[in-house]
Structure 1
Amino acid sequence: MDRLLHLSNNWDQTAFVAQYGSLFECSPWVAEKAWHSRPFRTREAMLKRMCEIVKDADEALQLKLLRAHPELGANIRMTKESVAEQRGAGLDRLERDEAYIFHQLNAKYRERFGFPFIIAVKGLTPDMIADSMQKRMMNTAEQEKERALGEVCKIASFRLEHMDINTEAS
């Protein structure tokens, strides 16, 4: 078992949420609920439990989580995790025409589904992201909500991979 997980299995709920509350965008409730399932044998087991909590949540809470995500390529205030993720995909360096295309696609997507387009951007280029957005516009509302929740879990997985023992809760 890794050191961070070993330590966090013994933390009170406040410390646990301080460490893992940012895995799901502006939704510390996921970590709050997961805390009750400790101890976790692996980070993967913890993440699996957190994703189950998200998928078992009522629709209103799921939509609140989805709507907490920033639009991709938008010049808006967002969490430090989202800033780093979008920077890694080059979404902070869009040319004017690319930014306009993202703005248009984001508006169309949000109008159709009621939440921003969500995709784990690690390893993707702006073109790949825009193509995916256009393809996913063909999904039904239920298909897209399920896909978006899956992407939320993928994003949480990437964030968990980068967690360091030297964070504030340790």
Structure 2
Amino acid sequence: MASLTITLQDINTYEKETFISALANLFEGPPWIVTNAYPTRPFASLDQLHQVLCSIMYAAPLDQQVALLRAHPDLVGRAALIGSLSPASKGEQAAAGLDQLTGEEIATFQHNNKLYRERFGFPFVICARENKKESILDGFDKRLNHTFEQEVTLALTEVAKICSLRLRDLVVDDSL
């Protein structure tokens, strides 16, 4: 996905603005997680960088976590249908086959998105690259029965998976 190779050594030596710009797309929405990770450099490995990023996300106040979740696009939502997803989100939804749905399947996703958003106040977040349309639809069914607290926790776990995959697409671990 990345057009240029960035190494972990590069990440460790970047000035703050370059660091933020390089890693901002690991998460949807404003780059507050990446910004807060900057002072913790240098990172010994990509795993350590990922752990730091996720620790910041998990330690954030609930309202900031929910804002992070709200920054995610709906699966097969308006942004996907009009072609305005970020390149990362577009590729992730395509990897799950969500760019090849029938009209009926699109309607099912949109109905589930609406139910989920009404129940929890944020979009259904799942690591699409680790799923296909069937497992995503099953996920809607199961997760609509969760409590708000359970669902925030699970959605953040999915964000962590998305971040890990995006990080590995972007940065070469030259620490070995």
Give the TM-score of the pair, scaled to structure 1. Answer: 0.92
What is aligned with 2:24? 21
What is aligned with 2:94? 87
Give the superposition deviation at 1:61.
Answer: 1.2
**Larger proportion of helix:** 2
Give the superposition deviation at 1:164.
Answer: 4.8
Give the superposition deviation at 1:27.
Answer: 2.9
What is aligned with 1:136? 143
Establish whether residue 54 from structure 1 lines up as the match of residue 89 from structure 2: no
> Which structure 1 residue ranges, 4+ long, deviate > 4 Å from structure 2?
none
CA distance in 2 between partners of 1:152 and 1:93 (Å): 24
What is aligned with 2:67? 64
The answer (yes or no) to whether the contact 2:76–2:106 under 8 Å persists in 1 is yes
CA deviations over 1:149-168 (Å, ceiling 9, x no partner): 11001100010111156xxx
Residues 34-49 of structure 1 mapped to structure 2, 5 A cutoff: 34-49=37-52
The answer (yes or no) to whether the contact 2:72–2:125 under 8 Å persists in 1 is yes
Describe the SS at the equivalent of 2:89: helix
Greater RCO, 1 or 2 (C-alpha within 8 Å, sep 6+): 2
What is aligned with 2:134? 127
Change (3 A) 1:119 1:17: same
What is aligned with 1:156? 163
The answer (yes or no) to whether the contact 2:116–2:123 under 8 Å persists in 1 is yes
**How many correspondences in the alignment?**
164
Give the superposition deviation at 1:121.
Answer: 1.0
Point out where structure 2 has 5 or more consecutive residues left out of the alignment: 1-5
Give the superposition deviation at 1:26.
Answer: 2.0
CA distance in 1 between partners of 2:46 and 2:130 (Å): 22
CA distance in 2 between partners of 1:164 and 1:53 (Å): 19
Give the superposition deviation at 1:75.
Answer: 3.7
Describe the SS at the equivalent of 1:21: helix
Describe the SS at the equivalent of 1:92: coil
Name the Cα RMSD after superposition.
1.5
CA distance in 2 between partners of 1:123 and 1:43 (Å): 20
CA deviations over 1:55-112 (Å, ceiling 9, x no partner): 1111221111100000001241221110110011111111000000000000000000
Residues 109-124 of structure 1 mapped to structure 2, 5 A cutoff: 109-124=116-131
Q: Which amino acid aligns with 1:16?
A: F
